[in-house]
Amino acid sequence: MKMSFLLDRYLARMFIGRFVMLLIGLSTLIVFLDLLANADEVLEAAAGDAAALFRYTALRLPTIMSETVTFAVLLAALMTLGALSRHQELVALRSVGVSQFKLFAMLLPASFIIVVPQFFLNDQLVPHTIYQLRAWGVGEYGEQTNGDDDSPVTWVREGADIIRVRYVQIGEQSLSGVTIFRRGSLGNVIDKISAERAVYVDGAWTLYETKRFSVTEGTTTYNDSLYWDGQIHPSLFASLSAHPRELTWRELKRFVDDQSLGNRPQYYYATWLHKKVAGPFGSLVMLLIAVPLAQRFRPDGSSAPMFIVGVAIGFLYFVLDSWSFTTGEVGLIPPLVAAWTPNLIMSTIAGAIAFQFERH
């Protein structure tokens, strides 16, 4: 029992150490390249203040780490198992009855040390930092805050009213290009109210520069300002205008449960909801892929073939994941299937290879 505990700690220390090194190295390289591409725009937005570069780097880092962590797990697992094989430690483990499945189980606790923070990184830090970048309007998020006519509009239903918003002012609790379609008991439009902007103050909305067309009377009235009894909080408009990746699991769940909300079909939000959970488990799949490969690595040979095959299989996983996820977004397959099928397929393949190796 004590020996097993020591082995678990030894493997976890090797694996976590390499993972942290790779994650920091890959993330630093990518964020540096991203900063080089957007430094001029960041400095221009901050009136030349160099401190803005550090703020931009800090805000971009969670997203970049989120996109890098799964690949870093694969490389860390290959490096760890490759080192064990090179020093004959895998042979020693196998001689005392440690199978591939047991080896995977020994690395599993260390993997959960990565998977759980990865979920909170994707669910909390990434949406928060992207929100800050959209409010700032720099880098790739600057194109989303220009309010031009080509930007996507936001639609929402509140009671019988249908509301169309051209542009959501992130962080300012105001909207631009607001159109409210008011419907009667039979669902027909009875009023159309257009406003240049809407401002939320003290729990109430006020429309400015309004034009109200009464369909039933055929008359048009103009007002400098008009009270609007809408009860939708500005944060909901911000969520509606955001990409699902920028939403937390709780916000996505609200869109899935309430079909009257959202700019996209319910299955689109449901696919992203399941992806929030399935994504971190991809790290476990990377570990499951690495274990059988290490058993085929010759201790007296080069580790390059193992890394090449491992990275190729990892790339295949990402391609399969992207294809499955896209088909789920467009509604061709159920959201649950779209989010979890890549993990299931690759786990089955890796498990079958490991089982075949154990039989021989």
Which pLDDT value is given to residue 360? 60
Least confident of 100-104, 115-119, 202-206, 270-274: 100-104
- Whole-model pTM: value is 0.79
Place of tokens 């080089």: 36
**What's the token pair of residue 89?**
């430690």
Give the count of beta carbons closer than 10 Å to the beta carbon of residue 290: 27
Q: Is residue 330 part of a domain?
A: yes
pLDDT band at 6 (very low <50, low <70, confident <90, very high): confident
Same domain, 11 and 124: yes
Inside any domain, residue 29 = yes
- Quote the CA–CA distance of 166 and 177 in Å, as a whole number: 5
- Give dist(CA 176, CA 53) in Å, integer: 30
**Mean pLDDT, range 232-242, rounded to an integer:** 76
Number of domains in the chain: 2
Least confident range from 193-197, 208-212, 353-357: namely 353-357
pLDDT at residue 55, as a whole number: 92
pLDDT of residue 174: 86
The answer to whether position 10 is within a domain reads yes
Domain residues for the domain of 158 are: 153-242
CA distance 339 to 324: 7
**What single-letter amino acid sits at 238?**
A
Residues 104 and 78 in one domain: yes
The answer to whether residues 57 and 101 belong to one domain is: yes
Q: What is the pLDDT of residues 39-93, one digit of tens each?
A: 888 888 888 788 899 999 999 999 999 999 999 999 999 888 888 877 777 777 7
Q: What kind and span of H or E run contains 195?
A: strand 189-201
Burial 248-281 (b: 16+ CB within 10 A, else e): bbebbebbbeeeebbeeebbbbbbbbbbbebbbb
Helix intervals (H) in the chain:
2-45, 51-86, 89-95, 100-120, 126-136, 234-241, 249-257, 266-295, 304-329, 335-359
Alpha-carbon distance of 68 to 175, in angstroms, equals 35
Please determine, for residue 176, whether its predicted confidence score (pLDDT) is greater than 50.
yes
Q: In this model, does residue 121 exceed pLDDT 90?
A: yes
Same domain, 28 and 177: no
225, 242, 259 - which closes a domain: 242
Tokens of 176: 């631009």
Across all residues in the chain, what is the average pLDDT? Answer: 84
Instruction: Mark whether 96 and 200 lie in a shared domain.
Output: no
15 with 74, same domain?
yes
**How much is the pLDDT for 146?**
47
Over residues 284-341, the pLDDT tens digits come to 999 888 888 776 665 555 677 778 888 888 899 999 999 999 999 999 999 999 999 9
Residue ending a domain, choose from 179, 207, 242? 242
Q: Determine, yes or no, domain membership for 262.
A: no
Same domain, yes or no: 82 and 10: yes
